[in-house]
Amino acid sequence: MTQPRFDVLAIGNAIVDVIATCDDGFLAEHALDKGAMRLVDTAEAEALYANMGPGREVSGGSAANTCAGLAALGSRCAFIGQVANDQLGSVFAHDIRSSGIFYATAPREGEPPSARCLVLVTPDGQRTMNTFLGASQHLSAASIDPELVADAKVLYLEGYLWDPDAPRTAMQGAIECAREAGREVAFTLSDEFLLDRHGDDFRAMIGRGEIDILFANEGEAMALTGADDLEKAIEWLAPKLPVLVVTRSEKGALAIRGDERAEVPAEPVDKVVDTTGAGDSFAAGFLHGHVQGKSLKDCLTLGAVAAAEIISHYGARPEANLTELVRERLG
């Protein structure tokens, strides 16, 4: 087997995070609940975007955030996600490429416009998020390049994108390509609400051996298995997966690979500012260690270090030098 060009190829929602400051009056004028996160439609997304003040526009989405963390750690990454042929689509493409991530998904013509998460930050630090999924939900099977899938050690799939039909079909095709090429498939469950609709799919995929690395938080693991405590969930999942990774917020994280089990505490932080993207960054750290052949405990520690950096500031992208943080922690 030839040496792949990329360490990780991720598939997920292509979302532009638009972050701007505002006062409480702006929230009241637009009937927005401070600190809440909600989905909005095309009309409301366009109107709110037009009325926001100057802001920062950064490529986002769960799997894209993981790619950004991986790239910051020195891994070679590629990303597949759908944008529209519009201004924010161009912002997403430029921003993710400028992070050193290979991105070649062709923009989609016509409606809906590119996905965006409109984040309004009030002087007290509260973040009010309005998410429009738009074009990201229209990723087609034609966007999956089998050669690109075969050219990555690990295919990483974002659970959020399993919900709409077209991207789900695309990701199923990508799994087949990865299997044919002998590559590993990593999957993140993303959110408990997905398990109500797609838990049967995920359990079937695990049963068929289509997932090599499963990322879940404590609640997701229990919801997926129907267990009433974490250890029972692990007892059900671990024998069916080559690698199981479970994050537990302030209680740390654990991973199981065969007969080996490792656990690490959460990394200390002076103040938890914003937990957005913590799971994405944890996956980045773990996968970075995994593709380098590090021990299970070191992979978990890498994940914990990356997650701690993210929760120490606003935003889902690293601001400190992750490579230096890892070097200080692991030597």
**What confidence score (pLDDT) does residue 310 get?**
73
Domain count, the chain: 1
pLDDT tens-place string over residues 84-112: 999 999 999 999 999 999 999 999 999 99
Which among 146, 138, 136, 187 has a CA at the least distance from the CA of 166?
138
Report the distance separating Cα 146 and Cα 195, nearest Å: 28
Residues of the chain with pLDDT under 70: 1, 273-275, 313-316, 331
**What confidence score (pLDDT) does residue 38 get?**
85
pLDDT tens-place string over residues 202-260: 999 999 999 999 999 999 999 999 999 999 999 999 999 999 999 998 899 999 999 99
Would residue 226 count as lying in a domain?
A: yes
Domain containing residue 152: 6-13+60-114+135-330
**What confidence score (pLDDT) does residue 199 get?**
92
Report the distance separating Cα 208 and Cα 225, nearest Å: 16
Would residue 130 count as lying in a domain?
A: no
**What confidence score (pLDDT) does residue 314 get?**
67
Distance from chain centroid for Cα 130: 18
**What confidence score (pLDDT) does residue 274 get?**
64
**What confidence score (pLDDT) does residue 275 get?**
67
CATH classification of the domain holding 265: 3.40.1190.20
Would residue 18 count as lying in a domain?
A: no
